Amino acid sequence: MKLTLVNLKLIATIGIVILLATSKLYGQSSYSADLYYRINESELDASYRDNSIILSQIDSIIANYEVANIDVCASASPDGATSANEKLAQERLNSFVDYLVSTGRLSADQIKTTRSFVNWDGMGQLVGQSQLSDKEEIVIILNNEVATDAHRVDQRIIQLKRLNKGKTYQELRTSIFPHLRYSSITIDFNRPEPVAVLPEEPVTTVVEETIEEVTAAVPATTIAESTSRGARWNISTNMLYLAALAPNIAAEISLGKGFSIKGGWTYTWLKSDKRNKYWRLYGGELEVRKWLGAANKKNPFGGHHIGVGVQMGTYDFELTKNGQMSDFTTAISLYYGYSLPIAKRFNIDFGVGAGYVTGKYKKYTAEHGCYVYQSSHKRKYFGPTKLDISMVWLLGKGNVNPKYVR
């Protein structure tokens, strides 16, 4: 659901009600929240994560209450050179202060800027709470390199990039660093005393009920990424089939929780009666896949996968005077594959399948311009059923390879 102006005002109002419910009925209250930034950006983007909700709440507080004190700070992730990150964190702090002043209700003198910093401490905390591969090695590097000069600090990034041939660092870039790029704000504000003082017990009862009824509506300010995504799917073609003059196409859609379903179709209908050559094949396949490993956490079509599927089709092959023709053949197979990212929205998928093939087929021979039936057979075969080197095009909102996102 898209956020409209009415929705934002409603959300902001609910947030203010919660603030009132969780403090005294009059006097001073406090509000704290974090606003997040896109990588290498210092300007606030209201469309990113929950920023629009938080900004609406901040605007409502400034507009409706007497502000006693505002503290702000800003951070950058450790990804990259320390000097550049320190500059970026300061730019985020300045940008946030400029936004607060632009509301027209505050001056720069009222805003206390605590600090801007590269968020190594936050990184250590998130790594400790995570399920990252090489987690123990990451903690050792973070704990051993404690010097504050830029050169020694940058050495930590170099060591982290060496872990697991760079794969661990890519996990950090996608699952940890985005949560370290933020500005924090704390607002202390005063509310006027009520005209009439209500009896103590009714006041206490109202406050407790309000807390129970509206707490669930608080927009969570946590480190969790937004899970709002469109359908994530891909289309692909097996380049080995193309090399064998068998055009083919397949589509795959993510079902969530590491599962996907893939369907494909192959068709070729080539013949040369003068040379007694036939190359005819058409049929389809359906496969259910389970994606494995850390790569699948951010991209549902990345890394290792296993699957089970069925192939059905018909063929007529004749490269000499002798040929085989099947009206219907079926294969039930187990698959293993690995999808290698090569660009932002492109992978190469390597796979192999083995299983059981069954079906009836006829042998024939070409004589004097005619095709003469020879015999009928039933195929029962255990062994390889598929070899796959496919070009994959990732489609859908957010369906990209994190490695290539800048």
Q: What is the model's pLDDT at position 147?
A: 47
Q: What is the model's pLDDT at position 265?
A: 95
Where along the chain do the CATH 3.30.1330.60 domains lie? 5-119+181-217
Q: What is the model's pLDDT at position 191?
A: 66
Q: What is the model's pLDDT at position 7?
A: 57
Confirm or reject CATH 3.60.15.10 for domain 5-119+181-217, answering yes or no.
Answer: no
CATH class of the region 233-404: mainly beta
Q: Consecutive 10-residue runs of the chain (406 residues): their mean pLDDT? A: 51 54 56 91 89 89 86 90 89 89 82 84 88 84 63 76 86 90 89 54 44 39 41 92 93 90 93 76 94 74 93 88 88 95 93 95 80 86 94 86 68
Q: What is the model's pLDDT at position 241?
A: 93
Where along the chain do the CATH 2.40.160 domains lie? 233-404
Three-state helix/strand/coil letters over the chain: CCCCHHHHHHHHHHHHHHHHHCCCCCEEEEEEEEEECCCCCCCCCCCCCCHHHHHHHHHHHHHHCEEEEEEEEEEECCCCCHHHHHHHHHHHHHHHHHHHHHCCCCCHHHEEEEEEEECHHHHHHHHHHCCCCCHHHHHHHHHHCCCCCHHHHHHHHHHHHHHHHHHHHHHHHHHCHHHHCEEEEEEEEEECCCCCCCCHHHHHHHHHHHHHHHHHHCCCCCCCCCCCCCCCEEEEEEHHHHHCCCCEEEEEEEEECCEEEEEEEEEEEEEEHHHCEEEEEEEEEEEEEEECCHHHHCCCCCEEEEEEEEEEEEEEEECCCEEEEEEEEEEEEEEEEEEEEEECCEEEEEEEEEEEEEEEEEEEEEECCEEEEEEEEEEEEEEEEEEEEEEEEEECCCCCCHHHCC
